[in-house]
Amino acid sequence: MAAVAACRRLGRLRTNSGVGLTGFAGYGIGASKFTPSILGSMYFSGFGKSNGQRLFLVDTLALVKRLEGQGVPLKQAEAITGAITEVLNDSLENVSRSLVSKEEMQRTEMQQEANLSKFKTEVQSSQGHHFSLLQHETEKLKNDIEKMRSELRYEIDKVTAGQRLDLNLERG
């Protein structure tokens, strides 16, 4: 959870905003803010990016001073600050390993869109093929029905002619 909060805070860090530290009330650290002009003169711990830049998470100097202000000896304050910094950096590193980069997400999204487009094309092609098969089958059935109708009409006419002949023979 600390890593998620650190990531959220990190995402909100901009030139016109300060860096806030929260969740350390037990160590005398409140939700303080540091202005950008102060940021340049302080040492911050951070998480190293691949290009060598650092993303700032904790103002270690201010944290040590606050802990000392609460009566914690310097060595212990430095040890606590180091431990907090290490935990935050490790947590952020673990979170960053489990998350997908924006480029990977876009690549996957494009691949999914391509797959969806291919699937739609295949479905439309299949539907067109099945529709033409159904039309062909329907036409064949219509021809069969018409042939049967003609044969039935012929048989009816033949029976009718035979009965007329029998009637005429009986009369005559």
Long-range contacts of 139-148, Cβ-Cβ distance < 8 Å, separation of 24 or more: none
Report the C-alpha gap between 72 and 85 in whole angstroms. 17
**Per the domain annotation, does 23 fall within a domain?**
yes
Domain coverage including residue 86? 2-99
* pLDDT for the residue 14: 32
Q: Which residue has the higher pLDDT, 10 or 100?
A: 100
* pLDDT for the residue 162: 92
> What is the pLDDT confidence band of residue 171, given thresholds at 50, 70 and 90?
confident
**Per the domain annotation, does 62 fall within a domain?**
yes
* pLDDT for the residue 55: 57
Q: What is the tally of helices (H) and strands (E) in the chain? A: 5, 4
Residue 24 has pLDDT above 70, yes or no: no
**Per the domain annotation, does 22 fall within a domain?**
yes
Is residue 73 within 8 Å of 63, Cβ to Cβ?
no
Which residues are CB-neighbours of 60 under 8 A, at least 6 positions away?
A: 43, 44, 45, 81, 82, 85
> What is the pLDDT confidence band of residue 56, given thresholds at 50, 70 and 90?
low
Residue 4 has pLDDT above 50, yes or no: no
* pLDDT for the residue 98: 87
Number of domains in the chain: 1
The pLDDT of 113-138, averaged and rounded, is 97
The pLDDT of 39-50, averaged and rounded, is 43
Which class for 13: exposed (0-12), middle (13-18), buried (19 or more C-beta within 10 A)?
middle
**Per the domain annotation, does 163 fall within a domain?**
no
Listed range (19-28, 52-61, 84-93, 103-112) with the worst mean pLDDT: 19-28
